[in-house]
Amino acid sequence: MNYRILLVEDEEHLRDTIKLNLELEGYTVIATGDGLDALNTIREGRFNLVILDIMIPTMNGLDVCERIRLENRDTPILVLSAKNSSEDRVKGLKLGANDYLTKPFNLEELLLRVGILVKSGLKGTEKEKDLYRYRFGDNEVDFSTYTVTNSKGSFQITKRETMLLKLLIEKKDQVVSREQILEKVWGYDVFPSTRTIDNFILAFRKYFEQDPKNPKHLHSVRGVGYKFTD
Amino acid sequence: MNYRILLVEDEEHLRDTIKLNLELEGYTVIATGDGLDALNTIREGRFNLVILDIMIPTMNGLDVCERIRLENRDTPILVLSAKNSSEDRVKGLKLGANDYLTKPFNLEELLLRVGILVKSGLKGTEKEKDLYRYRFGDNEVDFSTYTVTNSKGSFQITKRETMLLKLLIEKKDQVVSREQILEKVWGYDVFPSTRTIDNFILAFRKYFEQDPKNPKHLHSVRGVGYKFTD
DNA sequence: AGGTTTCTGACAATCGAATGACAAATCCTG
DNA sequence: CAGGATTTGTCATTCGATTGTCAGAAACCT
């Protein structure tokens, strides 16, 4: 079996070291030092693991992590960081990283953890359904099939809608600004007008709310953005 | 789903704290402070995760770790330790631990890592369905002979078609992304264009659908992939 | 309070990327 | 080399995403 690993690390020397060692272990390694680059690469190819330094230029590494998770639920992510505060580790793990390693690290430990992650990803791309379901009101959303079920019946929503909904639910009870939404769901280089987001919310209200005019779950916060509550 | 966790920790106070917190998260926790005890317990019951302090009395925690791995390949192990030397971490990971956390640790981080491990262990539980024959609509597919029988008659399909069809049927009612399809049917290092997959689906619709224009079994999910339903 | 400005709701119109459809080229395998 | 299997190329079509517009609601400011 040929395992493919995407390595995102900006320090050139370290990048080469890690790449070399992983290749000696038999992995195929694609390496880049840039976050945007990484996102593009991951969209094109398939990987068994992403090793991600969160202190990279161009964009925040944690955002890269979150974005990979919005688009792609399966690929394991191993986060590297110079910060050793537990808050940072917690933040990384919350955004969907599968493991977190602090620099400087023991190379052998890295290789061991890589081995563990790569294998765990293999066991089955499909995970338990419950992990991808979310219930609120009389709605049930299945993020793996893009399906919504409620009293009105059962229907499909689109990928974009799913990503946005996921983001709002992740940040439940918090206001998410339009900028944040654009950044996370659409990316750094695309800038649709703000009407677009409104239209998505509009659609959500039609899908999920008993009375779309008096939303119980999808609230507008004037001048800022939107907020999801149960 | 009821997850069962075995907690092995000799400091009583810490043990109670962890146990309580895990239970608040909804896990069932069996706790013990003794290594031998732990081995006996794990032989009796099935667990989704073992949390193991390697500084426990009666026997060396690393030995316990090794024993568990010898007897039981699947159960994830999370090692706790006061030692923070990388050699110790490497030693633990080499003996089969899936993760390693140093005391004192952030409780939230522990809970997050527990969540990740418990889920990763699940993936393996799912058994590959051994499909031999499958019926849907007025079609009957025999995967061993690559033969399809329906009202239009009986004919052969190719190996690749069979692989793809099997994948879609295994993931019935779920959206299978193009990436997943490529990964499973073509492998990691082959990159045919997306048109290829489309053509296979096209063929399937001609084979299996009464009205290929309004497919009842092979649905497109725009921007993602395809979905099979009965 | 009243008038002004800014923001969101609502929906129609438009655009463009993803897919459908099929032909042609290439790759295999015997 | 023949013949099917697989892949690529091209154009048509469809559907989701985006923009534009306007009305009404909320905030702002004397």
**Token output for A94:** 């919350």
Alpha carbons within 13 angstroms on the beta-carbon side of residue B97 total 26
- How far apart CA B212 and CA A218 sit, in angstroms, is 39
Strand C interface, A 203-222, C-beta < 7 A: 205, 212-213, 220-222
Query: Over chain A, what is the mean pLDDT?
Result: 88
Query: Is B120 in contact with A98 (Cβ distance < 8 A)?
Result: yes
Whole-prediction pTM value? 0.85
Indicate if CB(B199) is under 7 A from strand C. Answer: yes
Q: Which of residues 77-136 of B touch A (CB under 8 A)?
A: 86-87, 89-90, 93-94, 98-99, 105-106, 108-109, 112-113, 116, 119-120, 122-124, 126
- Give the pLDDT confidence of B98-144 residue by residue, as tens digits: 999 998 899 999 999 999 999 887 665 555 556 788 999 889 999 88
Query: Of B18-27, B77-86, B116-125, which gets the smallest average pLDDT?
Result: B116-125
Q: Per DSSP, what are the bridge partners of residue A220?
A: A226
Percent over 90 (pLDDT), chain A: 55
| Mean pLDDT, residues B176-192 taken together | 87
pLDDT 10s digits, A165-203? 999 999 999 999 999 999 889 987 777 888 899 999 999
Q: How far is the CA of A196 from the C1' of C13 (A)?
A: 14
DSSP string, B8-35: E---HHHHHHHHHHHHHTT-EEEEES-H
- What is the bridge-based pairing of β-strands B139-142 and B133-136? antiparallel
Cβ-Cβ contacts under 8 Å for B67 (sequence gap 6 or more): B39
CA distance A222 to chain B (A): 32
Domains detected in chain A: 4-123 (3.40.50.2300), 129-228 (1.10.10.10)
Per-residue model confidence (pLDDT) at position B123: 64
| Choice between A67 and A1, residue whose per-residue pLDDT is larger | A67
All residues of chain A having their beta carbon less than 8 Å from the beta carbon of residue B112 are 90, 93-94
pLDDT at residue number A127? 43
**Chain B stretch 156-185, residues whose beta carbon is closer than 8 A to a beta carbon of chain A:** 171, 173-175, 179-180, 182-184
